Amino acid sequence: MDPRRPPLPITAAAAVNALGRTTREVLDALDAGRSGLRPPTFDVPVTTLVGAIPGDLDALPAEYAAYDCRLARMAKLAYDEVHEEVVRARERWGRERVAIILGTSTGGLHATERAFFQWRSDGTVPADFDFHRQHDFNGLGELLGAMAGVDGPVYTLSTACSSSGKVMATAQRLIDADVIDAALVGGVDSLCRMTLQGFHGLGVLTDVACRPFSSERKGINIGEGAAFCLLEREEVSSAPSDVWVLGVGESSDAHHMSSPHPEGRGAAEAMSRAMAQGGVGPDGIDHINAHGTSTLLNDAAESIAIHSLFGDRVPVVSTKGYTGHLLGAAGGTEAIFAMHAVRSNRVPRSLGVEPKDPSVAIDVQDVPRDQPVRRVLSNSFAFGGSNVSVLIGERP
C-alpha cells in the first residue's frame, strides 16, 4: 500500500481534443454540453463516430522534422500552451530536475500504419518514416524534452487506457525519491485504423454517439487528443495553485485481459487507495469523473464499484460522450476536466445518459449542477485489468 504523499500543485495544464484546438475551446464546449463526435474523415471500413481534433495540424518546425507525425503535431498543439510554464519550472529547479513522463496506448502507430501499408503495396517504406522517432512510444517524450530543454528522466507509461492517470503516480514517486522536483505529465493518442477495427472486432464499437450509463448504450467511440499537466514539488509563490493532485490509487483486477471484474473490485481498490493517499474518506468526495466507456460490462462494473464506496450520494459524469474514448490520453484529459470542475464549482452533464440504465444505482448527471466541488476522483481503467484513480482537489 502506498503511504500518504505530499500533495502536488498543478502549475499549468492544457488539453486539445475533439472539443477544440485550445484548452479554452475544449472547456467551453464541455460547459455548453456540446459533443465533438463526428463521422471519421479518413478511410476506415466501419460505421462509427470518432472524436477527431478539428482542422488541420501544423507540421513540426524543421529542426524537429524527424519526429513529425500526427501524434507529435497534436502533442505540440497542447504543449505550446504550457511551454512558458515548463521553461519557468526549468529555470526554477534546474534542467536535470524536470522530467517528462507521458502516457500513450498506441504511440506512433498512425505513422507505422502508413509505412506498413506502403510496404505491403510496393515493398518500400516512406522515406520520411523514422521508426525510432515516430513509432517509438518514447519518441514523443524525447521531442518534448528537446522542446522544453530539460535533461531529467524521459519515459512513457503504456498501460492502455490507464496510462495518463498512472503518470501522475510516477511523478509523485520521482519527486518523493528526490530524483526530480517537477514533471510534465500527460497523455497523447491519435486515431488510427488498428484501434477502430480492433474495437470493432471486440464488438464494442458503436455506430452512433456513445451513451455511458444509459439503458440505450451500444458501445464506445474512439477519440484522439493530448493533455498535459505540470506538477511541481512546491507551488509558485507569486502564482499560488488552486488545484492540486492529492492522491493517486493504482490496482490490478487480476481477472480478465479485456473485461473488468464484474463487481468492480479493482476499480474500488484504486479509488480507495487514492482517497487513502490523499487522507480523505468517501464523504470528502464531491464528484467523480467516471471511466464510463459506454460498454455494458464496463459501465456495470464501475457503477457497482462507485456504489460500494459512495452509494448514490456523489454526482458522477462520464465525458466520453464529448470526446470519445481517448485511450492513453483519457486519464490526462479527464484530470483537466476534474480541475475545471473544481475551479468552476460545476459538475458537467453526462451526455446521453437518459434513459438511465435502471441497474445503474449511482447518481449520473443528466444536467449540469452548480455545487461546491472541493475534490474529484478521476477514474481510468484498462485492458489487462490496470486501474488508476486520481484524486484532484482544491488547496489542501
Identify the DSSP state of 20.
Answer: B
Write down the residue that cell numbers 503518470 correspond to.
167
Q: Using an 8 Å Cβ cutoff, are 187 and 390 in contact?
A: no
Q: What is the spatial distance between Cα 198 and Cα 48, in angstroms, rounded to a whole number?
A: 13
Q: What is the spatial distance between Cα 377 and Cα 372, in angstroms, rounded to a whole number?
A: 14
Q: Using an 8 Å Cβ cutoff, are 182 and 99 in contact?
A: yes
Taking the complex as a whole, the smallest distance from the CB of residue 6 to other proteins amounts, in Å, to 11
By CB atoms closer than 10 A (0-12, 13-18, 19+), residue 210 is buried
Tell me which amino acid residue 366 is.
D
Which C-beta is closer to other proteins: that of 169 or that of 377? 169
Phi and psi at residue 347, to the nearest 5°: -95, 125
Write down the residue that cell numbers 501524434 correspond to.
71
Dihedral angle, C-alpha 201, 203, 205, 211, nearest 10 °: -170
Determine which one of 287, 291, 307, 340 is catalytic. Answer: 291
Which C-beta is closer to other proteins: that of 184 or that of 360? 184
Taking the complex as a whole, the smallest distance from the CB of residue 386 to other proteins amounts, in Å, to 6
Taking the complex as a whole, the smallest distance from the CB of residue 43 to other proteins amounts, in Å, to 11
Determine which one of 161, 192, 210, 229 is catalytic. Answer: 161
Which C-beta is closer to other proteins: that of 166 or that of 287? 166
Q: Which of 53, 15, 11 is nearest to 335 (CA)?
A: 15
Q: Which helix (H) or strand (E) holds 84?
A: helix 70-93
Q: List all residues 6 or more positions away from 354 whose beta carbon is below 8 Å from its beta carbon.
A: 214, 366
Q: Which of 172, 346, 153, 358 is nearest to 250 (CA)?
A: 172
Which C-beta is closer to other proteins: that of 251 or that of 295? 251
Determine which one of 110, 287, 325, 340 is catalytic. Answer: 325
Taking the complex as a whole, the smallest distance from the CB of residue 159 to other proteins amounts, in Å, to 4
Which C-beta is closer to other proteins: that of 62 or that of 177? 177
Q: Using an 8 Å Cβ cutoff, are 21 and 54 in contact?
A: yes
Is 161 annotated in the active site? Answer: yes
Residues in the chain: 396
Taking the complex as a whole, the smallest distance from the CB of residue 94 to other proteins amounts, in Å, to 10
Taking the complex as a whole, the smallest distance from the CB of residue 306 to other proteins amounts, in Å, to 18
Which C-beta is closer to other proteins: that of 142 or that of 357? 142
Taking the complex as a whole, the smallest distance from the CB of residue 258 to other proteins amounts, in Å, to 4
Which C-beta is closer to other proteins: that of 58 or that of 117? 117
Q: Which of 237, 232, 148, 147 is nearest to 182 (CA)?
A: 232
Q: List all residues 6 or more positions away from 136 whose beta carbon is below 8 Å from its beta carbon.
A: 107, 108
Residues designated catalytic? 161, 291, 325
